[in-house]
Structure 1
């Protein structure tokens, strides 16, 4: 598939499940784009998808179905229908019949429609617990923040533990990553916060450039009109590939080891 060679199956009889990085690679070949368009549905999950990628898939009229779920819920519990996706609905989808989602404050109080808070969920497919410990109640609170709109669509904002507090402001990596991917100057990117005496946490972007001409300075300049100053990365690290597992997710411990090693070398510091 990565070489642009489609499998000899009848796509219209199948659902296909992809992570965003896989979709990005498949969209780079005309043959596989045509092949993808024939599937009944293309489930997309495993990691946040950036807006530029979704726009490209939509322009190709691909039947994308963004999903939200996890191992603890036996996969998806929130799904956006392809027809909603193609109609440019920006959302993680609607809660499936077997599940229920509540948005709560830090103290556990339910929040109103449109208010961002911690996601608390119940599901018929919810795990029993982490062996040998079982859940005392059939309720699970992942490390995710989001809100539900007036039409019942769920929007995932980001992971609470990944939230970067820089200069007293909350910044979610997914928003910064989406802006960087939208420049089309990088193949892949991951944004994290590292300890900093001035900012508390400094936004750090680890990226794979599209070509050798892409530099830290190029990326800094490209974000001047799309991200506010507080959300722009202060540090940039260029790699040949990001450490990802077989599911396409970033290997965070390995990434932080790379960052720790790289910070001993000169890096471009964006102006505050």
Structure 2
């Protein structure tokens, strides 16, 4: 297994490279030695690199790292707040790969890698191939979008690829890209919530889509919908994978335990038998499929009513066909929190159409009071929305008087 030898002395290796080949070579060298291995974003600012360097070294005496546990630090923060790393190791990574392979019936995983390797989604795409003896081929999203789509060799288990909703939206616009997507055994969709219209168009185009749920702390997926279930009209995050246990706590908070769950946020440890309470809320349907309703810390309380941003975003995205839409709450003297809809400028968001859809499909507390266009849409490399940056830009526009009176 990777990195299971005893730690002779405290040593830290940062693996940070934009080029996939350089990253993989540096990672192989790092895990061949001893000590702690940190995955880093090559786009980190100087301040973030200094913050990483200042992290305390884990003690080498009587530490779990002596047993080969918690030596791999995968970033789960940065650019949006305090830098955080989730502790993983060969045991958590292999458990996640085995559960994934069993769930989808894949003896070998062959993946086209479009996501950055320092991010858990890109890293696990590579690890699934490495652990099962499959083939991993890195690719450039810019090249894929421009029409340079590789012809992949035939494999007994086929090929898989992971996309975020914005990428799928753009590929569905081009018939040749749709045909290319159909050549995959599984097209995973994650990183951000997808809206109903996008999923319906993917189903109509016969894209073998698999919706999933997971995070850095769980070494990626712990629940996933199989493509045949998606084709039948299912739209949940799917059933729980065999390596994980998912329960719902108070107010529907999603709690997870299992062999792939992280060892703690560096430099701290967590007890491996305890349930990990996520920041998400959800529900199970009668078939025990998981439905993710949104983040518990993103719930907006407007006029005393709870508003779940994902529900509002889905209506606005479907009505306008615009992928880059977000809903936040900002402080308001009258409502407590004011519901504000944000959209990327230049992507065809029709405010009038959005208002009509909101009036027709949303309750009064859910309807946005303001609509704001943002010239710069803050996304991470993995396609996730940087909500702190989004909120700061929205509040600056509102202070300047933009968006008022558009409810």
Structure 2-normalised TM-score? 0.61
Question: Is 1:161 the equivalent of 2:304?
Answer: no
Matched, 1:227 2:370: no
Deviations 1:239-268 (A, max 9, x none): 234210101111122112211211113323
Q: 2:284 aligns with which of 144, 148, 159?
A: 148
The structural deviation recorded for 1:10 is 4.1
1:139 aligns with 2:306: no
**What SS does the aligned partner of 2:277 have?**
coil
User: SS in structure 2 opposite 1:134?
Assistant: coil
Tell me the equivalent position of 2:203. Answer: 58
- Show the counterpart of 2:395: 260
Tell me whether 1:128 sits opposite 2:263 in the alignment.
yes
- Structure 1 residue corresponding to 2:381, chosen from 246, 253, 271: 246
CA-CA distance at 1:42 after TM superposition? 0.5
Normalising to structure 1: TM-score of the pair?
Answer: 0.90
Distance 1:215 1:150, change over 3 A: closer
The CA distance in 2 between the partners of 1:46 and 1:52, in whole Å, is 17
Compute the displacement of 1:135 (Å): 0.7
Which residue number in structure 1 is paired with residue 162 of structure 2? 17
Q: Does residue 186 of structure 2 align to residue 77 of structure 1?
A: no
Task: Tell me whether 132-141 or 1-10 shows the greater mean CA deviation.
Answer: 1-10
- Structure having the larger proportion of residues in strand: 1
CA distance in 2, matches of 1:58, 1:225: 25
* 3-state SS, counterpart of residue 155 of structure 1: strand
2:185 matched residue in structure 1: 40
Q: Highest CA radius of gyration, 1 or 2? A: 2
Aligned equivalent of 1:109: none
Deviates more, 1:26-35 or 1:252-261: 252-261
Secondary structure of the residue aligned to 1:186 is coil
Instruction: For structure 1, list consecutive stretches of 5 or more residues without a partner in the other structure.
Output: 107-116
Structure 2 distance, partners of 1:209, 1:201, is 24
Whether 1:200 and 2:325 are equivalent positions in the alignment is: no
Inter-partner Cα distance in structure 1 for 2:200 and 2:346: 19
What is the RMSD of the two structures over their aligned residues, measured on CA atoms? 1.8
Distance 1:11 1:85, change over 3 A: farther
Provide closer, same or farther for how the CA distance between residues 130 and 147 of structure 1 changes in structure 2, counting only shifts above 3 A: same
Map Cα deviations across residues 215-250 of structure 1 (whole Å, 9 max, x no partner). 534422342212222211111111234210101111
Stretch deviating more after TM superposition (8-17 or 130-139): 8-17
Farther-moved stretch of structure 1 (171-180 vs 219-228): 219-228
Q: Matched residues in 2 for 1:148 and 1:33: separation?
A: 32
**C-alpha distance in structure 2 between counterparts of 1:215 and 1:149, whole Å:** 34
